[in-house]
Structure 1
Amino acid sequence: MISHFAVNWLAVILATLASWLFGAGWYMALAKQWTASIGKKPEDINKSDYMPYIWSVLCLFVMAYFIALLTPLLTGDISVANGVLIGAHMWLGFVITAMVLNHRYEGALWARTLIDGGYLLAVLLIDGVVIGLFG
């Protein structure tokens, strides 16, 4: 029986912070391309609305938690290589496939899928590295 609370919470918090900081840089660097891919301009984004930021931290925390939970469960050991392996598999098996599926029905530009999908791949790999180092 696995204990859902037997993870290194410090590693989960550090992974959350690292992936959130990466995301800030990623979307600042790709702001024009991303906003164009959603049919807006950078100045159309309401930067005073903090709810998306709060939701992003919560979602990133959940992703880091599951990388910390699943890495030893699926690989038998917590290491950087295993964390990255689990992160990459979760991205390919669930994240990008769901994103492609939804974006194709929405008629979203491929640029949006590439920008958001690339970001989430990096998040899961960062989580895997941090969990592997500190887990």
Structure 2
Amino acid sequence: MDNLDFAELNYWAILVAVAFNQVLGALWYGTLAKPWMADTGITQQDIEAMKGTPRQWYPYVIAIVLAFMFTLGLALLVQGTEADGAVEGLGLGVLAAVGFVFTSQAVNFTFEARPPRLLAINVGYPLISYAVIGILLAVWT
């Protein structure tokens, strides 16, 4: 992987990928809000209490910054492996999601005795996101 070059990355693709990630997250957790809230113990009253406080907006700022970071990492992986097609991009996205996100989350969920449904909710989103972003980055070079 001697060919890693930040200057050669497609930053338009990265920005589109970050935007896609945020839209997918809103749709994913909007659709799965009730089971997610039940499994995390967050109540509607907790959400109401966050209104008007930094707790209402700063998670979104963190989510955008971290989406940029992981997309940048995935873009470097695509570049370093010279992936140049949808299938290769999909494979790298799934590899990153399963190899890094699922494995680390599954360990935490096991020690925290969290329900498998919450693991599926919290890992399903990055699995889909990384897969699509991998395709985007590999195709839009």
Whether TM exceeds 0.5 here: the answer is: yes
Paired residue for 2:25?
Answer: 23
Alignment of 1:99-114 (within 5 A): 99-114=105-120
Unaligned runs of at least 5 residues, structure 1: none
Partner of 2:64: 57
Q: Which amino acid aligns with 2:140?
A: F
Q: Which letter does structure 2 place at the counterpart of 1:5?
A: A
Distance 2:16 2:129 in 1: 12
User: Which stretches in structure 2 are left out of the alignment for 5+ residues?
Assistant: none
Moved over 3 A (4+): none
Q: Secondary structure, in 3 states, of the residue corresponding to 2:6? A: coil
Matched residue type, 2:5: S
The 2-side partners of 1:72 and 1:118 are apart by: 25
Q: 1:12·1:61 contact (CA, 8 Å) conserved in 2?
A: yes
Q: Matches of 2:63 and 2:41 in 1, distance apart?
A: 21
Aligned residue among 115, 122, 140 for 1:134 = 140
Q: 2:76 aligns with which of 60, 66, 69?
A: 69
State the TM-score, normalizing by the size of structure 2: 0.87
Name 1:115's counterpart in structure 2: 121
Q: Is it true that 1:94 corresponds to 2:100 in the alignment?
A: yes
Q: How many residues align?
A: 134
TM-score between the two structures when normalised by the length of structure 1: 0.90
**Counterpart position of 1:36:** 38
